[in-house]
Amino acid sequence: MMSDKNSKIILEDQESSFSLSKSRTKLNITFNRISFIFFIFFIISLIFTIHLTHLGSRKSNDEIVKKKTKQLNKLYRADILDREGNYLSKSVNSIDIGISPSKIIDKERLILNLKLIFPKKDYSEIKKRIAKGKFFYIEKKISEENYEKLMQLGDKSIETRESLLRIYPQKNLFSHIIGQIDNDNLGISGLEKSQDYNLKNNNEPIQLTVDKDIQFLIREELIKFDKIFRTKGSAAILMNVNNGEIISLISLPDFDLNKRAKITDVNFINKATKGVYEFGSVFKTFTLAAAFNEKIIEPNSELIDLPKSLSCAGFRIREYDDKIPADLTVEQILIRSGNIGSVRIGQKVGEQKFRSFLSKIGVLDKIDFEIEEVGRPIKFNWGKCPLATASFGHGITTTLLQVVKAYSIIVNGGFEINPFLIKKNKEIIKQKILDEEVSKKILPILRKIVATKEGTANLANVDGYEIGGKTGTANKSLDGNYTKKKINTFVSIFPTTRPKFILAVMLDEPQINEDYIYTYRDGSNFKLKGSPRNTAGWNSVETAGHIIEKIGPILATKYSEVN
């Protein structure tokens, strides 16, 4: 019994031992499962954390991109186009290349590679800048070819910076119209200044009335004749007389807008709009037009026994040409550019009416225009003697732009027009401010000034264009005294039977050219060597004639339906 009992006890102990061992195994398995599940969750958490970090990083990168985009948007300016859609001013993306000295591994190798790509750079200066340890630009507006070469180097010290660049594809051609911007993206002259807000805040381009091809041809002729007559500069305006659209506006000397050079030389003034000058006999047309508007005289009215000179407040007024007869019709006075006859007509009109007429056609006050570089005529103190001198264009000033406006009103049937550069989307409503008869009486006279031997502008009689116009030669005033330096002008209208265009050409301080050969256009094949006089009839008229020969065919085809 004892042994059985003991056996039973032992068995029971074995069962207990077995049971305990089995329990431990189950615990092991359970523990391992928990560890595995924990590990899986850990991996998932790690992946999720990495993903979140990546997203955060990407968000940060997006913010950088947004910041850069915002900075570029600040620099954005709308494009400026000519009337045919050619770019005159454009904003383009540009890549600038810089060097970060702290990232250079092999300086000598870097310099050697750069020399192969940019052989003309000053590498002694580049080495100095590397030694300073600060980031610097080595090339701005890099070409696509050089950019690829640099990227192939794989040098981390070479860094690219994106920027927005304002470029001017036509360089000098429209410098006085388009104007400049500064390094802070602010317009400082021309349309870049006057339209600064619109250019920065509108995506649509600004389209102008000017024609690139015609601008080019006129500028080429001006440059050529500036050299021939050794001028200080020149200006020309071509405009539609019926609506005020400016097709071309040039002032020389001009400048390359892409260089952003600071210009301090006053000779670079916009001579077409900003320069204020006496224009001489150009004003005689205004005197006759005022008299016609007041119905005081007719073209065939005669002025008899005109003296060779007059005296007014100690100032002597005389004819520029002693051959001018004493008896002249009103028409002949303008054709032969008589000073005394013009004074007599001005006196018939009277101070008040003449002054009112000049104000009406926009000569006396500052003109409203789309660029800010506009001159203000010098205040004119009226009186009996000033009336006399103003009648033949002496002592009274204005701008070439205002002369162009005034002539347009006189020849277009008496309708007021305002010169403009930016294309208008709405119809221009015109107001008649002069008697229509003024144009009918003036135009045949202007034609005879060009078409007859008595006239002062025969050199501009280009066949097929019916050109009319008036010359003006004026001495420049300095410190209240007149000098021998001249402003010579020719204002032409064509065709005179149905006026469409006005071309005004002004030469600043031209000189006589003793070697230049003049070729007459009257079919006689007559040639003359050397300028007989330093007058508008011998230089400004010659220049305008050559310009019209060049642009006439284009105007006849492209602008045949101009109203």
CATH classification of the domain holding 467: 3.40.710.10
**Given a cut of 80, is residue 16 above it in pLDDT?**
no
Whether 133 and 239 share a structural domain: no
Residue 195 located in a structural domain: no
- Confidence (pLDDT) at 184: 82
| pLDDT tens digits along 77-99 | 999 999 999 999 998 888 889 99
Alpha helices in 184-320 (DSSP H): 190-194, 196-201, 212-228, 284-293
Rounded distance between C-alpha atoms, residue 89 and residue 521, angstroms: 40
CB burial string 383-397: b at 16+ within 10 A, e below = eebbbbbbbbbbbbb
Is the pLDDT score of 68 beyond 70? no
- Tell me the pLDDT band of 22, cut-offs 50, 70 and 90: very low
- Between residues 286 and 203, which one has the greater pLDDT? 286
- Residue 227 and residue 150 share a domain: no
Assess whether pLDDT exceeds 50 at residue 14.
no
- Same domain as 257, residue 122: no
Of residues 236, 335, 237, the one with CA closest to residue 537: 335
Tally of domains in the chain? 2
How would residue 55 be classed by pLDDT, with cut points 50, 70 and 90? low
Are 541 and 398 contained in the same domain?
yes
pLDDT value for 67: 45
Residue 70 resides in a domain? no
* pLDDT tens track for 313-357: 888 899 888 889 999 999 999 999 999 999 999 999 999 999 999
CA distance 164 to 269: 29
Shared domain for 302 and 403, answered yes or no, is yes
Residue 481: strand pairing partners? 478
Instruction: Specify if 499 maps to a domain.
Output: yes
Do 314 and 441 sit in the same domain of this protein? yes
- Please list, in sequence order, all residues whose beta carbon lies within 8 angstroms of the beta carbon of residue 293, skipping any fewer than 6 positions away: 357, 434, 435, 438
How high is the pLDDT of residue 481? 87
78 is a domain residue: no
In a domain, 174, yes or no: no
Per residue in 223-262, pLDDT tens?
Answer: 999 999 999 999 999 999 999 999 999 999 999 999 878 8
Q: Averaged over 275-280, what is the pLDDT?
A: 97
Task: Please write the tens of the pLDDT for every residue from 278-312.
Answer: 999 999 999 999 999 999 999 999 999 999 899 88
Angstrom CA distances, 410 to 67, 287, 362, stand at 57, 11, 11
The answer to whether residue 283 is domain-embedded is yes
Question: Does residue 432 share a domain with residue 375?
Answer: yes
Does any domain span residue 96? yes
pLDDT band at 74 (very low <50, low <70, confident <90, very high): low
pLDDT tier for residue 3 given thresholds of 50, 70 and 90: very low
pLDDT of residue 53: 59
In this structure, the answer to whether residues 132 and 279 fall within a common structural domain is no
Regarding predicted confidence, which is higher, 154 or 320? 154
Average model confidence (pLDDT) across the chain: 88
Least confident range of 118-122, 270-274, 444-448: 118-122
Which structural domain, as residue segments, surrounds residue 135? Answer: 91-165
Q: How confident is the model at residue 12, as a pLDDT?
A: 42
What is each CA distance from 139 to 110, 127, 144, 187, 509, in whole angstroms? Answer: 15, 15, 12, 25, 43
Residue 17 confidence (pLDDT): 41
423-471, pLDDT tens digit by residue? Answer: 998 888 889 999 999 999 999 999 999 999 999 999 999 999 999 999 9
Question: Are 353 and 414 within one domain?
Answer: yes
Residue 103 counted as domain residue? yes
Residue 386 pLDDT more than 90?
yes
Give residue 9's pLDDT.
37
Looking at residue 26, what is its pLDDT?
A: 53
Residues 221 and 351 in one domain: yes
